[in-house]
Amino acid sequence: MKKIDINLKNFSYSIMISSGGLIENKYTFSIFKKKEKVVLITNNVLHKILSEKKISLFSKYNIDLDILIIPDGENSKTFIQAEYIITQLITKCYNRNNTLLIALGGGVIGDLTGFVASIYQRGIKFIQVPTTLLSQVDASIGGKTGVNHVLGKNMIGSFWHPSAVIIDIDFLATLPLNQLISGLAEVIKYAIIFDKLFFLWLEKNVDNLISLDKKSILYCINKCCELKSKIVEIDERDTNSRSLLNLGHTYGHAIESYTKYSSWLHGEAVSVGIAMASFASELLGFLKHNDTLRILNLLLKTGLPIKGPSNMNESNYINIMKRDKKIVSSKIRLVIPVSIGKAIINDFVSINTICLSIQKCQDYFVK
C-alpha cells in the first residue's frame, strides 16, 4: 500500500493506494469510529458489482451500514439527486456527529456525495473510494464538490475535503474500455502541465495502462496523486496555480454542456480541449508545432478524440465558454501549454484565436 499525505492549513488527510484488498484492509476500517453510522452512496451499476462479502465486512467490524443508490451517469449530478440523498439522511435521522458518508464510484458520485456532505447540517464527514481512473487520479482529490446546471457544468459547488481517499486499482477491471481511456485524458493533462519525463513515460507505456498492467497503473496513479496533492497544498482554494489543472476544461465543459452530458465522457471532452488549447498556444507563439503534434499523437494513440462534435460550431463554443466560472473580467481565461511539461494561465486570449484553435482541430488531418 502506498500512502500520500495532503497537509493543508486547517485540515489534513491521506490518499491510500493499493492493488486489491484495500477495501477489506483493517487499516481502512480503523478510519471509522465506534458507534458511527456509515452511509454508502453508489450507483446502480456498481451496486450490482459489489459482493455481499464486501458489504458484510461492515457488519464484521460492527459498523452500521446503510446504502443509497442513484442512477449511473453524468445526468445524475444534479440538485434532484442531492435532494434525494439529503431527504434520506433527514428521514433516517442521520446527524453530523455520528454519521460518515462514503462515496463509492467515479467523479459523479464523488462530486455529488462531497457536495451533500458540505451542506448537510452545515458539514458532515465523508470518504472518497474512487472506482474510475479519472476519479482516482483527479476528481477524488482536492475537495472540489458540486452539481451541474443545465447551462453549465460544475456551476454550483463548494470546497469540502474528504477525511480520506481510498484507491483500490482492482476496481478498474470493472470499467468499460471507453471509461478507462477517458480517464487517461486527465493523466496526460498532468504530464503536459507539470512533468516532461512523465509525458515521455506515457508515450512508451500507454498500451500497458490500457491493458491494466498493475505495475504501470500503480506508478501512474501514484505519480498523478503526488502531483495533484502538491498543487492542492500550494493553492487549496483554486485562486492561483491550481487553475493550471483546468487545461482543456474550458473547451471540454462547453462540449459537455452542449451535448447535455449525454454522449461525451468527461475525459473525451477534456482531450478535445487539450488539443484545442495546444493549437491556441501555437497560434499565440508559445508552443512549438512539433510539441503540438506530440500532444495530438499521444491523445490519438491512447484512443482519445481531438475533434469536437461535428454539429458544434465556433459560436456554440464561445457562447457556452462565456458562462464558464473561469471567466475573469469578461475575458475567457485559458490554460495553455507553452512546452511539454509547462503550462501557463492566459487571461487575454482573443475570441478570434479561440475560434481558430477550434477550426484547426476540426480540420486536422490524421496521417
Predicted local confidence at residue 49, as pLDDT: 84
Q: Which helix (H) or strand (E) holds 313?
A: none
pLDDT single digits (tens) 272-322: 999 999 999 999 999 999 999 999 999 999 999 999 999 999 999 999 998
Residue percentage of the chain with pLDDT more than 70: 95
Q: What is the DSSP letter of 328?
A: B
Predicted local confidence at residue 27, as pLDDT: 67
Of 180-189, 205-214, 239-248, 330-339, the least confident: 330-339
Q: Which three cell numbers stand for residue 288?
A: 512549438
Domain boundary assignment for the chain: 2-174, 177-363
Question: What's the whole-number mean pLDDT along residues 347-356?
Answer: 92
Residue 329 has pLDDT above 70, yes or no: no
Q: Which fold has domain 2-174?
A: Rossmann fold (3.40.50)
Question: What's the whole-number mean pLDDT along residues 65-72?
Answer: 94
How does residue 330 score in pLDDT terms, banded at 50, 70 and 90?
Answer: low
Residue percentage of the chain with pLDDT more than 90: 81
State whether residue 37 is helix, strand or coil. Answer: strand
Predicted local confidence at residue 246, as pLDDT: 95
pLDDT single digits (tens) 121-130: 999 999 999 9
Q: What is the DSSP letter of 16?
A: E
Predicted local confidence at residue 148, as pLDDT: 93
Residue 62 has pLDDT above 90, yes or no: no
Q: What is the DSSP letter of 173?
A: G
How does residue 71 score in pLDDT terms, banded at 50, 70 and 90?
Answer: very high
Predicted local confidence at residue 30, as pLDDT: 75
Q: Specify the amino acid at residue 247.
A: L
Nearest residue to 152 via CA among 261, 269, 270, 311: 261
Residue 24 has pLDDT above 70, yes or no: no
- With 0-12 CB in 10 A as exposed, 13-18 as middle and 19+ as buried, what is 66? middle
Question: What's the whole-number mean pLDDT along residues 30-55?
Answer: 82
Question: What's the whole-number mean pLDDT along residues 315-330?
Answer: 78
- With 0-12 CB in 10 A as exposed, 13-18 as middle and 19+ as buried, what is 19? middle
Predicted local confidence at residue 356, as pLDDT: 97
Biggest alpha carbon–alpha carbon distance for the chain: 62
Of 29-33, 139-143, 292-296, the least confident: 29-33
Predicted local confidence at residue 326, as pLDDT: 58
Across all residues in the chain, what is the average pLDDT? 93
How does residue 34 score in pLDDT terms, banded at 50, 70 and 90?
Answer: low
Q: Which CATH superfamily is domain 177-363 in?
A: Dehydroquinate synthase-like - alpha domain (1.20.1090.10)
How far CA 332 is from CA of 248, 302, 312, 361, in Å, comes to 13, 29, 19, 19
Question: What's the whole-number mean pLDDT along residues 351-365?
Answer: 94
Predicted local confidence at residue 145, as pLDDT: 97
How does residue 210 score in pLDDT terms, banded at 50, 70 and 90?
Answer: very high
